[in-house]
A and B are shown apart, each in its own frame.
Chain A
């Protein structure tokens, strides 16, 4: 299957999944049931940024499926491909919103799920000052916990904010990677769709810090591309859904680096099979330069360890 067809297929799968979950929400909670993510003034941020409209009820959530449909135009041109990626993002947000409708607490430790506005505001300053030089989204599954930890700890030691999605969360735990907002490693969830919670971080950055008007999608994308130094590491076998989500990342200007053999697109979609080089490859792809003052000490030293708590047993 060519890259375009893979993305279109993944987007249609995302749409089908969203339709299924919305139908379930309608059945279980009714169309009038409230829809909201916790602690946000931006409703469903992706949809709000794209359309300027706030989704408040299940009925409106059902209506939002049309946005997904309208973005999937199966014509093999780059703009259609990027839109199809955005369709997957919108569908993922619908799925995630439905999870919050169907359950009061869809996410439990270690997974964070939705990232609240206050957290984003607290990240704003270090992002602007470059104290957080980049945002890494690590998703999927590494061949072993050791290589996963190597990559994540490397980002951590460089002060990057790292979001984890999928089995890599368990691998990070297995390898004793310390996590938490203060440690700048945030596990989001096990489903692919939970990656949307980092997308909304970037999108809310455009709305909060960039002052971009909701509904001005082109400007939101431009802000993310110019100002949010994020990138994606996709490890392990890639489903069509993941690839189409990757197209969404590329639409936001975030390059995708994977350990799989894929149809590469220079600077945007890259294969790096050597785990020792994943970090360097990713930083170069996103043009992230880190000012390093290396101090020869026997433990990792970085701003990411500032909030670390030393427990009795440690």
Chain B
């Protein structure tokens, strides 16, 4: 770890890294250094391993060195294929997440661990799938809805059921480009097929497949994951919580939930609230059970239960290094395999629960799908019984924690907006107030700041600088994923943060009684952003690409982020990437993604590693869109 380079803007992160260093422990930042300079071919996307004639690597500089792989694939073809496979990887992750949730709804029962909590939302979603709800048993409707949802994952003919929030003009654009998704799994398979050796060798066509697969993610996989999670676990409403590694407690059983699928966190929240569990914790000498979250499971649990946010992606190892985590419970996605070895240095139980993500060295307690609460109870017990093994001499919990307000689902945003609607004018439960302030120019636009952490950037700096820059320019920010946690830790998810906003946004925050940065949930909950933007476009009778709306992933790292970027752009929203994707070796691919794609879908990618320049570009672009729309 080099001394001079700033690693993070988060003080608790720096404190824990010092502790790690003193104890001779390795973190992702050390492994990043150990990797030395990354391979230029891979970084530019011009390395192909899709068959055993290779690996091939072609020159990222046109006209120089090897221009074609053994099969004859050009740099652009290799780059486009690699990029498409990233989309497929990301979409597949969200697909499987969505599928689990739909299957849970299929197994929901009135007396089971999983029930229908939000009947109103069930009816709304069922209606959009054309399912009769009138006078029917709630669980019959739920099961029929689950079946309908599952059909869209494996659909072989026709197209998926698009939500009504897709504006008509947008749908036409997709139809014309032939990128309306068919079945979700089919789109992933199609990419894996076409990127096989000797198949698709046209950058433009491959990238279009990526857009179609991305759309299946955003408007189907993630969309359903969110809707169905709300149906079973409740639609989020605004509530307070706290964030930062300082939320760990000295004399409580600290359970850190990490991963993605809400069923794990829901079951553990339910188990940890049981009086007998609390009694058990007390019998072990603890004051109680302290649930905290990391990454998107944290977001799911905090949106619905106010579970505290311990930290984001790059902090997962640091939680263990506090020495105060009795159990680190994970399911799927974005879990460092390094946690298995790291937790050996402490008493921390590292527990995996999903058959989809086994990690060597972890304690595996597989989630029993037929009786998920049982697993939840077993995991909580395991954590409680581990409390006594905590070595207090090795514990160091940072003092810092920050208040945050979370729970801004689309429904909650509409409820808040109702507060500024004149009851003699109406309408209620609409995005009209939001559309009005955007049209009037009181707020200039809206931005979704999403995505991961990446050791290539200063931890959290990109998120925070972009968010602060945007709100200062009267652009309201909605946030999800690890970006949301960065904002929470920095105090941006509070009503007081309106003081950092420009005059217009500040006024809106006061009138609507909201923070300037709204936490909308986990990464699959980006579908909430699509829903909100789609509703606003429909409200104004325009297409999404007409709106002064942008997406930004300042510190993204995962393939999921690439898939998200693809569906956001395909939905007509300009998207800024704060980390350069591995496409620079393909001039045509770069031209398509950052230029020509705009002719297709009315939006494009911007790659900018400087957060301040990003803000400047966004403000300019937002003003351009406003001008075009005449507002």
Query: Which residues of A line the B interface, CB within 8 A?
Result: 2-4, 76-79, 81-82, 263-267, 269-272, 277, 280-281, 284-285
Contacts and interface: CB of A to CB of B under 8 A. Distances in A.
Nearest to A280: B424
Contact of A266 (B420, B424, B503, B623): B420
27 contacts: A2-B626, A3-B440, A3-B441, A3-B631, A76-B623, A77-B474, A77-B503, A78-B474, A78-B503, A78-B504, A78-B507, A79-B504, A263-B439, A263-B631, A264-B436, A265-B442, A266-B436, A266-B437, A267-B420, A267-B511, A271-B425, A272-B422, A272-B425, A281-B424, A281-B425, A284-B422, A284-B424
Contacts of A269: 440
Contacts of B511: 266-267
Contacts of A263: 436, 439-440, 631
B388 to A, nearest CB: 56
B444 interface: yes
B503 A4 contact: no
- Scoring A76, A78, A82, A264 by chain B CB atoms within 10 A of each residue's CB, the highest score goes to A78
Interface in B430-447: 433, 436-437, 439-442, 444
B275 interface: no
Contacts of B424: 272, 277, 280-281, 284
B439 A266 contact: no
Nearest to A279: B424
Contacts of B422: 266-267, 270, 272, 281, 284-285
A234 to B, nearest CB: 15
Contacts of B502: 77-78
A227 to B, nearest CB: 18
B421 interface: yes
Given A4-B441, A284-B423, A266 B433 contact: yes
Given A2-B631, A78-B504, A78-B507, A265 B425 contact: no
B630 interface: yes
Chain B interface size, under 10 / 10 to 19 / 20 to 34 / 35 or more: 20 to 34
Contact of B441 (A76, A264, A267, A277): A76
Interface of B: 417, 420-425, 433, 436-437, 439-442, 444, 474, 502-504, 507, 511, 623, 626, 630-631
A116 B83 CA distance: 75
B427 to A, nearest CB: 12
Contact of B444 (A76, A79, A82, A285): A76
Nearest to B420: A266
Nearest to B474: A77
Contacts of B474: 77-78
The 5 closest A-B pairs by CB, nearest first: A78-B504, A79-B503, A266-B420, A281-B424, A78-B503
A82 B503 CA distance: 10
Nearest to B507: A78
Contacts of A264: 436, 439-440
Given A266-B433, A269-B440, 19 more contacts: A2-B626, A2-B631, A3-B441, A81-B441, A263-B436, A263-B631, A264-B436, A265-B437, A266-B421, A266-B436, A266-B437, A266-B511, A267-B420, A272-B422, A272-B425, A281-B422, A281-B424, A284-B423, A284-B424
A184 B425 CA distance: 27
Given A77-B504, A263-B440, A2 B630 contact: yes
A5 B626 CA distance: 13
Contacts of A272: 422, 424-425
Nearest to B434: A266
Contacts of B504: 77-79
A281 B626 CA distance: 30
Contacts of A265: 436-437, 440, 442
A118 to B, nearest CB: 36
B219 to A, nearest CB: 29
B505 to A, nearest CB: 8
B296 to A, nearest CB: 33
A264 B631 CA distance: 12
Nearest to A284: B422
Contacts of B630: 2
B431 to A, nearest CB: 11
Contacts of B420: 266-267
Contacts of B423: 284
A260 to B, nearest CB: 14
A270 B630 CA distance: 20
A23 B626 CA distance: 39
